[in-house]
Amino acid sequence: MNAKIDNTQPERSTSDLIKAAVSGWLGTALEFMDFQLYSLGAALVFHEIFFPEQSAAMALILAMGTYGAGYIARIAGAFFFGRMGDTIGRKKVLFITITMMGICTTLIGVLPTYAQIGIFAPLLLVLLRIIQGLGAGAEISGAGTMLAEYAPKGKRGIISSLVAMGTNCGTLSATAIWAVMFFFLSKEELLAWGWRVPFLASVVVMLFAIWLRMNLKESPVFEKVNDDSTTATPANAVADNTHSLSAMFSSKSFWLATGLRFGQAGNSGLIQTFLAGYLVQTLLFEKAIPTDALMISSAIGFITIPFLGWLSDKIGRRVPYILVNISAIILAYPMISMIVDKTNEVNVIMASIIIIHNVAVLGLFALENITMAEMFGSRNRFTRMAISKEAGGLVAVGFGPVLAGIFCNMTDSWWPIATMMIVYSVIGLLAAILMPEIKDRDLSLPEDAAESPALPIAQHVSSH
């Protein structure tokens, strides 16, 4: 029966696969371009633009809190748009999410400052972050779902790494823009108008991504599963979907996927968001040090990410996940200690940022999208993948930097950063150890992988 499902699946050409890959790459690039634009903005300049009357430490915490507000909205967006994606299709939802995200990112660039309209400035910033978060809550999960369902077996890891490289492109472009701003503009020019440029520039990516998604075909897996369910009555279809959502929190696959996401997202929030601000605002490092290091690290990620995607196609998803998490745990304390030591040469500090960023952030994200897509069944893949991603992101990325700021302020030390990174990585490691091997699982199967651990192996063996 499984072979029949594969054989009758709607065909997609190489051109269709390329469009899906570029679409997912662009959407993810835009999301992470916003992620890095805002995270660096919050860490480096927003405390003066939107929270100028606070102390340096409190302003950084407030800026991080505004950043976290978008992650609360992402949960609602994940549920609403994820459910819509499992009901009406991936393509329509991805068009909506990219439009919402792009418009809000651009509008941040035209916001009035605190000096112009007072408390309404940060309130408007929070409002845009919330609307933006609604769309972002389903964007990367939708792109990951779409590309996984397009990709052929044996190549899903390397092809899905394009979505992860979208995060890299977004991070790289945003960091590069900020680096150029810091190099060419004085502090006065940056605070007066220069900070707006990165957000306004994102409109180019948004317009191209919208155009591409208008010409994208629906996922072949969704189309096949949707066709198979047409014999059911509408009432039965609604009941089945409702049952799937209500069963989500009792699904072992959901909690394993959330654990995998928690580890990666927590490290990302600490390194790409909080650490940059901590180095500049608390330790008084030059702003170029974290921005240049993250820019170089993102460039190196063009090798790291596809390599790990390819490796997971060869040896499975579990082993690379386990190895990368163990590496992050081992490296956390020594790397952070070298980063915050002002007696070290700049090259040593930057090299330490690059190493820990590639291992604890990019390395895990290279494996995340395809692993989570294969973890879930066809009926609710979009919804469960989106919610598990955003549940982990809300706690780890939304609140993690705020907690890191509080702990570092209370202890007057940097060690809470390393401790939190180790905790995040241990959670990811435990999830990787407990998960079943799901490489090349039949994505048309309705069951979640951990609820039917024998199915992926049997399917994989029978296909050969």
Comparison of pLDDT for 334 and 284, the residue scoring more: 334
394 and 72 Cβ atoms separated by less than 8 Å: yes
206 and 173 Cβ atoms separated by less than 8 Å: no
Residue 171 main-chain phi, psi, to 5 deg = -65, -45
What gap in Å lies between CA 426 and CA 50, rounded to an integer?
A: 36
CB atoms within 10 A of CB 53: 9
Residue 396 main-chain phi, psi, to 5 deg = -80, -45
For residue 384, give every residue at least 6 positions away whose Cβ sits within 8 Å of its Cβ, in sequence order, or none: 82, 248, 251, 253, 254, 257, 376, 448
Token match 């955003």: residue? Answer: 390
For residue 95, give every residue at least 6 positions away whose Cβ sits within 8 Å of its Cβ, in sequence order, or none: 210, 213, 214
Residue 37 main-chain phi, psi, to 5 deg = -60, -50
Average pLDDT over residues 80-86: 90
**Per-residue pLDDT at 238:** 42
Q: Where are the domains of the chain?
A: 13-223+248-462
Q: Which two tokens stand for residue 28?
A: 């993810």
The percent of residues above 70 in pLDDT, for the chain, comes to 85
What are 150-187's pLDDT values in tens digits? 888 899 999 888 877 887 788 778 878 888 887 888 87
Q: Indicate the residue type of 91.
A: K
pLDDT band at residue 16 using 50, 70 and 90 as cut-offs: confident
**Per-residue pLDDT at 352:** 95
Q: Is the pLDDT of residue 336 over 90?
A: yes
What are 182-220's pLDDT values in tens digits? 788 887 888 888 888 888 888 887 888 888 888 788 888
What gap in Å lies between CA 81 and CA 418, rounded to an integer?
A: 35
What gap in Å lies between CA 311 and CA 319, rounded to an integer?
A: 10
What are 238-261's pLDDT values in tens digits? 444 444 557 788 889 999 999 999
**Per-residue pLDDT at 456:** 43
Q: Is the pLDDT of residue 6 over 70?
A: no
Least confident stretch, 186-195, 328-337, 363-372: 186-195
**Per-residue pLDDT at 119:** 77
Comparison of pLDDT for 321 and 58, the residue scoring more: 321
**Per-residue pLDDT at 363:** 94
Q: Which two tokens stand for residue 38?
A: 């805002």
CB atoms within 10 A of CB 415: 14
Q: Is the pLDDT of residue 458 over 50?
A: no
Q: Is the pLDDT of residue 14 over 80?
A: no
**Per-residue pLDDT at 219:** 83
Q: What is the mean pLDDT of the chain?
A: 82
**Per-residue pLDDT at 454:** 47
Architecture of domain 13-223+248-462: Up-down Bundle (1.20)
